[in-house]
Amino acid sequence: MREIQVRTPAKVNLTLDVVGKRDDGYHSIESVFQAVGIYDALTLTRVDTPGITLSSTNKYLPCNQKNIAYQAAQLFLKHAHRWDGIHIHIEKHIPSQAGLGGGSSDGAAVIAALNWLLGCRMSLQEQCEIAAQVGADVPFFLTGGTMHVSGMGEILEPLPPMPALPMVIAKGKAGVSTPEAYRRIDQLTDPVHPDTARVIDFLRNGRYWDAIPECGNLFEAATNLEEVTQIKQIMMDMGAQCALMTGSGSAVFGIFDTGLMAQKCCNALHAVVLYAVTCKTLKHSIRIVSRS
C-alpha cells in the first residue's frame, strides 16, 4: 500500500475539571470528551525520499517539526524502527486554538494511519503510549466517541456513546494558548469545580439529558473571555440545553433538542463570530476514507 486517506474528528469537553498539579508540571484533569462531526482529512503517502514532509490547505499551519502531525510521525517511525519516506497532506477544517483538539486529532490520525499504511499491526495500547508522548489530548482520538478522560489525558474509560445530538460550535476572535490557560487555572483563588462524578454517573446510565445541565468547564472562570459569555448567552436564548466553552478555549458548543433549533442559532451567531457550524455528536473517531 502506498497511500491512505483518513478523516479525524474534533472533540468538545462535555465537562472539564482540573483537580491537581503533578510533579512534572502537568495538571490532572477529570473530563468527558465527546467526538463531534467537524473533520480534518489527512493523506499519507509513502515516498522514495527518506524523511517526513508535510503540506496543508491552511497556510498558517506550521509544515515542519512544529506540527503535531510531524511529531507523531517522527515518534511512530522511531518506535516502529522504520525509516520509510512519508508525505503528510492535511486538509484542515478544525479551527486552531479553539479547544477542539484539532492538532491532537491530526496527531492521532497519523499514528493510526501509519499503523495501517506500514502494516505494523501495533496494538491500541502501543499506539496510545506513542500518542501520550505527542500530547495530552492525543490518546482520546484513537478511540473517540464518549470517554471519561483523567490523569494528564492518558487514562481513558469508554462511556455509553451519546446519540447524535444536534450541536452548534462557534468561535470569536480570541485564541487561547493552552499553557497560558493552565497558568491562569493555577491562579484561581476560589475555583467552582463541576461535579464530574455526577455527570459520569448519569452518562453511565444513559441519562444524558440529566447529565448535560450538570456540565461545567473550570477554564471558563480562568480565561474569563467576554466573547465566550456573549456566545453562551445567544445559544441559551436560542433554546440550547447547555452552552459551554470547550477545552482551554475559546470555542463554545451548544447542545439543542432539534437540528432546526441548532441551525437557527448558527444563523444568528454568524453576525457576531468568526466561525459557527452545526454538527452532531459522533460514536466513532478516525475513519479510513481510502487506501491505494
Ligand X SMILES: Nc1ncnc2c1ncn2[C@@H]1O[C@H](COP(=O)(O)OP(=O)(O)OP(=O)(O)O)[C@@H](O)[C@H]1O
Q: What is the dihedral of CA 274, 280, 282, 285, to 10 degrees?
A: -30
Q: Which is nearer to ligand X, 131 or 261 (CB)?
A: 131
Query: Distance between CA atoms of 29 and 8, rounded to whole angstroms?
Result: 23
Q: Which is nearer to ligand X, 29 or 261 (CB)?
A: 29
Residue 27 binding ligand CDM, by CB under 6 A:
yes
Residue 153 binding ligand CDM, by CB under 6 A:
yes
Partner interacting with residue 113 (select from ligand CDM, ligand X, none; CB below 5-8 Å by kind): none
- The residue range among 91-99, 141-149, 218-226, 235-243 that interacts with ligand X, by the rule CB under 6 A, is 91-99
Look up 11 and say whether it is catalytic: yes
**C-beta separation of 32 from 148 below 8 A:** yes
Residue 278 binding ligand X, by CB under 6 A:
no
Q: DSSP 3-state assignment of 116?
A: helix
Amino acid at 117: L
Tell me which of 5, 8, 15, 67 binds ligand X, using CB under 6 A.
67
Residue nearest to ligand X (CB): 103
Residue 69 binding ligand X, by CB under 6 A:
yes
Cβ of 260: how many Cβ atoms within 10 Å?
11
Half-sphere exposure at residue 278, Cβ-oriented, CA atoms within 13 angstroms: 18
Amino acid at 212: I
Tell me which of 241, 248, 278, 285 binds ligand X, using CB under 6 A.
248
Amino acid at 259: G
**How many chain residues interact with ligand X (CB under 6 A)?**
20
Which residues, 6+ apart, have CB-to-CB distance to 129 below 8 Å? Answer: none
Least CB distance from residue 132 to ligand CDM, whole Å? Answer: 9
44 closest CA partner among 10, 72, 66, 79? 72
Which residues in the 57-96 window bind ligand CDM by CB under 6 A?
none
C-alpha cell at 108: 492521532
Tell me which of 68, 168, 169, 170 binds ligand X, using CB under 6 A.
68
Look up 280 and say whether it is catalytic: no
Residue 178 binding ligand X, by CB under 6 A:
yes
Q: DSSP 3-state assignment of 231?
A: helix
Residue 218 binding ligand CDM, by CB under 6 A:
no
Instruction: Tell me the C-alpha to C-alpha distance, in Å, between residue 59 and each of 56, 73, 127, 176.
Output: 7, 20, 29, 20
Point out which residues bind ligand CDM (CB under 6 A).
Answer: 13, 16, 26-27, 29, 31, 104, 135-137, 152-153, 178-179, 182, 247-248
- Point out the residues that are catalytic: 11, 137
Point out which residues bind ligand X (CB under 6 A).
Answer: 61-62, 67-69, 90, 96-104, 106, 137, 178, 247-248
